[in-house]
Amino acid sequence: MHTVRAAAEHLRDLEPYDPRYLSARIGLNANENPYGMPAAAKLALKNALDSEPLYRYPDPLGLELCTALAHRLDVPRACVVLGNGGDELLFNLCLAYGGAGRTVLTAPPTFSAYHTNAVLTRTALLEVPRASGISPEGLLDFRVHEEAILQQLSASNPDLVVLTSPNNPTGDCLTLSFIQELLDATDAVVLIDQAYVEFAHPSYDATPLLRNNANLALLRTFSKAYGLAGLRIGYLVASEEIAGELRKVRQPYSVDTLAALAALAALEEEAETLAAIAHSNSERERVAKALGQLGLGLFVAPSEANFLLFRVPAAHEVWQRLYDGYGILVRDLSLMPGLASCLRVSMGTPQENDAFLEALATILSKDQATAPPSAALDTPA
pLDDT digits (tens, 9 = 90+) for 263-304: 999 999 999 999 999 999 999 999 999 999 889 999 999 999
CATH superfamily to which 19-34+272-368 belongs: Aspartate Aminotransferase, domain 1 (3.90.1150.10)
Average of per-residue pLDDT values in the chain: 94
Distance in Å from the first CA to the final CA of the chain: 54
Q: Which of 14-18, 100-104, 191-195 has the lowest mean pLDDT?
A: 14-18
Which residues contact residue 320 at a Cβ distance below 8 angstroms, ignoring those fewer than 6 apart? none
Does the domain at residues 39-268 carry the CATH identifier 3.40.640.10? yes
pTM for the model: 0.93
Q: Find the helix or strand (DSSP H, E) in which 352 lies.
A: helix 350-370
Rounded Cα gap, residues 8 and 54, in angstroms: 36
Rounded Cα gap, residues 227 and 352, in angstroms: 17
Rounded Cα gap, residues 162 and 194, in angstroms: 11
Opening angle at CA 141, ends 132 and 139, nearest 5: 125
Cis peptide before 169 (omega within 30 of 0): yes
pLDDT digits (tens, 9 = 90+) for 26-50: 999 999 999 999 999 999 999 999 9
pLDDT digits (tens, 9 = 90+) for 214-253: 999 999 999 999 999 999 999 999 999 999 999 999 999 9
What separation in angstroms does the CA of 64 have from each of 224, 257, 260, 262?
21, 11, 8, 12
> What percent of the chain clears pLDDT 70, i.e. is strictly above it?
95
Q: Average pLDDT of 66-87?
A: 97
Q: Does pLDDT of 379 surpass 60? A: no
pLDDT of residue 374: 44
What separation in angstroms does the CA of 107 have from each of 114, 122, 139, 174, 201?
10, 19, 20, 12, 22
Which sequence spans correspond to the domains of the chain? 19-34+272-368, 39-268
Q: Average pLDDT of 161-184?
A: 98
**Amino acid found at 14:** L
- Dmax (CA) for the chain in angstroms is 69
E strand segments, the chain:
26-27, 80-83, 103-106, 124-127, 133-134, 140-141, 160-164, 189-193, 216-221, 234-238, 299-300, 307-311, 328-329, 331-332, 342-346
Rounded Cα gap, residues 311 and 291, in angstroms: 10
Q: Is the dihedral of CA 84, 81, 113, 230 positive or negative?
A: negative
